[in-house]
A and B are shown apart, each in its own frame.
Chain A
Amino acid sequence: MTLGVMIAISSVVYVLEGLIPFPVPGGKWGFSNFLVLYLSFFSGITNGIVLAISKSLLGSILSGTIFTPGFFMGFLGSLASAIAQGAIAKFNIFGLTGISILGMLVNNVVQFLVGSFLIGSSAIYVFLPLVIFLGTFSALANAYLANQTEKIFESMEER
Chain B
Amino acid sequence: MDESNDVKKARRDFILFILVTSCALITFFVSKFYVPNVNNVTNTVVVRIAGDSAYEFSQPGDWQIIDSQNEYVTTLHYDGNNIWVTDSDCPDKICEKMGKVGQGGSIICVPNKMIIEFKKKETQETVETASTTDVQTW
Contacts and interface: CB of A to CB of B under 8 A. Distances in A.
Interface of A: 25-26, 64, 68-70, 73, 92-98, 101-102, 105, 115, 118-121, 123-124, 126, 128-130, 132-133, 136, 140
Contacts of B113: 69, 118-120
B126 interface: no
B6 interface: yes
B111 A70 contact: yes
Contact of B110 (A69, A93, A101, A128): A69
A93 B28 contact: no
B66 interface: no
B13 A133 contact: no
Interface residues of B, number: 34
25 contacts: A26-B94, A69-B113, A70-B111, A94-B12, A94-B13, A95-B10, A95-B13, A96-B13, A97-B13, A98-B12, A98-B13, A98-B16, A105-B20, A118-B110, A119-B114, A120-B50, A120-B115, A121-B51, A123-B117, A128-B27, A130-B24, A130-B28, A133-B24, A136-B21, A140-B17
A108 B50 CA distance: 21
Interface of A is mostly: helix
A41 B111 CA distance: 33
A101 B17 contact: yes
Interface of B: 5-6, 9-10, 12-13, 16-17, 20-21, 24-25, 27-28, 31, 48, 50-52, 91-92, 94-95, 97-98, 106, 108-111, 113-115, 117
B17 A129 contact: no
B25 A133 contact: yes
A25 B24 CA distance: 18
Contacts of A105: 20
A97 to B, nearest CB: 4
B111 A68 contact: yes
Most chain B C-beta atoms within 10 Å of own C-beta, residue among A26, A64, A68, A140: A26
Contacts of B6: 95
Contact of A25 (B9, B13, B16, B94): B94
Contact of B16 (A73, A101, A119): A101
B30 to A, nearest CB: 8
A25 B51 contact: no
A73 B110 CA distance: 10
B108 A124 contact: yes
Contacts of B12: 93-95, 98
Contacts of B16: 94, 98, 101-102
